[in-house]
Amino acid sequence: MKEHKESTAKQGLFLLGTQPIMNIMFPHFVELPLQWNSTGLGGNPRLEKKYLDAAKILHWNGARKPWLNNGLYKQLWSPYFDDQTRI
């Protein structure tokens, strides 16, 4: 992680944030139902309500995080955000 962060390459040493490191560290896994990692909240403005209602974990992967001005699904994030929370 340190080498990735300090890399002079625009995207660091690899793409996809920390996902490649987690894949290396945890090569043996159990596939969980989709609702345990409900993705797309940071990039897909057309997620179905039933998909969001079934979600156990909300994953804002993508550029439009809910704390940004152009963020998506802020109504799902706001119950967990208060004035003391700093991103």
pLDDT tens profile 14-73: 666 677 777 788 888 888 898 998 999 999 999 999 999 999 999 998 899 998 999 999
pTM: 0.64
Band (pLDDT 50/70/90 cuts) for residue 83 is: low
pLDDT at 72: 96
pLDDT at 46: 97
Higher pLDDT, 26 or 2: 26
For residues 3-29, one letter each, b for 16 or more C-beta atoms within 10 angstroms of the residue's C-beta and e for the rest, the string is eeeeeeeeeeeeeeeeeeeeeeeeeee
pLDDT at 84: 56
Mean pLDDT confidence for 4-8: 71
Continuous segment of H or E residues that includes residue 17: none
CA 23 to chain centre: 16
